[in-house]
Amino acid sequence: MATRPKVLVRETIAEAGVELLRSKFDVDVDLDSPLNEIIGGYDALIVRSATKVTADVIERGERLKVIGRAGVGVDNVDVDAATRQGVVVANAPESNVVSAAEHTIGLLVALARNIPQAHNALVAGRWERAKWGGVELADKVLGVLGFGRIGRQVARRALGLQMKVIAYDPFVGPDRFRELGVESASFDDVLARSDFLTLHLPLNDETRGAVDAEAIAKMRDGVRIVNAARGDLVVDDDLVAALESGKVAGAAIDVFVEEPYSGPLLGAPNIIVTPHLAASTEEAQDRAGVIVAEQVVAALEGGLVSNAVNIPTVGADDLEVLGPYIPLAAKLGRFAMELAGNEIGKLTVEVYGELAEHDTRLLTVAALNGAFQGHTDQPVNYVNAPVVAADRGIEVVEEKRRSSRDFTNLVAITAGNARVAGTTIGNDDRLWLVSALGFELEMELAPRLVLLRYQDVPGVIGRVGTLFGEAGVNIANMAVSRNREGESALMALSIDAPAAPDLVARLREGVDEAHVIQ
């Protein structure tokens, strides 16, 4: 009789999750034994946030097939090491959505009606009805920055409170806004029109410090701000100054740059603070345990691991051919999405040449990873990429053709109306951009690229070079393409240093279209 797989539960999870595992496998709940000494005897490992699953632990897990993280993040798991060893890493990204949305609404109501301040005053013996009267939420404009899973749940609840909801998220298709009765707006428009503002943006280089003095200056006087997403989205000192001046009438904060937190926000006027409680409900914790147990069952039984955050090993023959094109597809996906802006309803992955004879799903997920990188509130992986895209109202299409006119192998990505294509060059498989925005190019894909579309008239190239020279930014490579003399032309540049905002603004003067991707 075959030996049943063994599962190690390293941290406490919902009993329902443990019972599900026990109905199918041999399960040990061991919170204390040295993990690196016992892991070799198990096929699956389940942790929460406290256990550090290092490369050494994974290497010692000779039987290990899956690591389940009962929660959202996987920062405590060496995902790269797991991927190299062919171990699936799965989490429970949906477990805290309802709890986080409800906590946001709770902060919104508390902020509007000054509930914590009134409570504290009464407990301290002060009857202050006039001081803590508050405002109604009905008919007020709620601005939602970030319209992912939690942002949409917040919007649903706010609409039930008869608020008017407007939202910003360039990586969500228009159908998702319309089906909820939410107006899609630009970032600055949401800032300018909102009576209440709630933050649900993913944290990346573009969103870090998004709510700073400049952003606050664009808001209505007396705006109220809720942040139960990520502390780094807000510049604390700028928010404190705005609260002290009265520009911001109140703020409710659940997340901080450093936790535990003891900084200046605690002394600001008209502020409500909670110690990162958004996901801290019994239901969310129980849900995480059950979801991760289901993922482990799927992995051990050969089913669909819908919450896998890494790419398991693929056939050696496929990987040998596809390998150099995986980073190419990721870069092209990011490039196409940046060029598309808000016009995103469909993402198409075209594969030409010998590549088309192989399993190209890895190229599709690589393109989606690049396109959505840092722009979603959940990991995108080879299993859930189509689901994540569909959830955001974006159709994903794969097309294969056995030959290409000019190249042995070619990958093309179209996001909205923006199409880019590339290939690899040389023995070292350099990533090469061969077309963008309808123009043919020959240029190596670099970490920092600038695309300028302009009327083909004398002096443009010299002006652009002068602007970069004055800014002290070196141009590493340049390629120029045009359709017909005197009509539209495209200039592509790779640069050695980041382009500052003032340089970007000057580049946009006198051209039809400018994109800076860095």
Catalytic-role residue among 276, 463, 482, 508: 276
Return phi, psi of residue 409, to 5°: -135, 145
Q: Is 114 helix (H, G, I), strand (E, B) or coil?
A: coil
Q: What share of the chain is helix, strand, coil (3-state, %, to 5)?
A: 35, 25, 40
208 assigned to active site: no
- Nearest one of 137, 113, 279, 107 to 198, comparing CA atoms: 107
CA 5, CA 27: separation in Å to the nearest integer? 9
Asked whether 411 and 423 are in contact (CB, 8 A), the reply is: yes
Q: How many CB atoms lie within 10 A of CB 188?
A: 12
Catalytic-role residue among 15, 259, 283, 399: 259
CA angle (10 as vertex; 7, 16 as ends), nearest 5: 70
Location of structure tokens 């840092």: 374
Catalytic-role residue among 230, 361, 375, 392: 230
Start-to-end Cα distance in the chain: 57
CA 117, CA 135: separation in Å to the nearest integer? 14
485 assigned to active site: no
Asked whether 195 and 111 are in contact (CB, 8 A), the reply is: no
The helix (run of H) or strand (run of E) holding residue 337 is helix 325-340
Asked whether 212 and 240 are in contact (CB, 8 A), the reply is: no
Plot region of 459 (φ>0 → left; ψ -120 to 50 → alpha; else → beta):
left
Alpha carbon 144 to chain centroid, angstroms: 16
113 assigned to active site: no
Strand duo 513-517 + 449-455: pairing: antiparallel
Enumerate the active-site residues: 230, 259, 276
